[in-house]
Amino acid sequence: MHIEFKEVDKSNYEECVELEIHEEQKDFISPNWELLLEVKYEEGERYPSAIYKDSFGKD
């Protein structure tokens, strides 16, 4: 199994936004689109990244 962190940028942000979490997890974390907006516009140094395992979106 190969795991890596990649920066979220113009080439992959749509894939990240389209990811969904399980219904029972929705009370614990915001949607990915909301988190990416926070990274872009809130103060402080933040580096959006995605975790890739072998191939994006596959178990």
**11 token code pair:** 């080439």
Number of structural domains found in the chain: 1
Residue 59 lies in a domain: no
Number of residues that make up the chain: 59
- Give the pLDDT score at 14: 95
Residue 28 lies in a domain: yes
Q: Is this prediction's pTM over 0.75?
A: no
Partner residues linked to 5 by β-bridges? 51
DSSP assignment of the chain: --EEEEE--TTTHHHHHH----GGGTTTS--HHHHHHHHHHSSS----EEEEESSTT--
Structural domain span for residue 26: 3-53
Residue 42 lies in a domain: yes
Residue 58 lies in a domain: no
Q: What is the pLDDT of residues 35-47, one digit of tens each?
A: 999 998 988 888 8
Partner residues linked to 52 by β-bridges? 4
Return the DSSP state at 14.
H
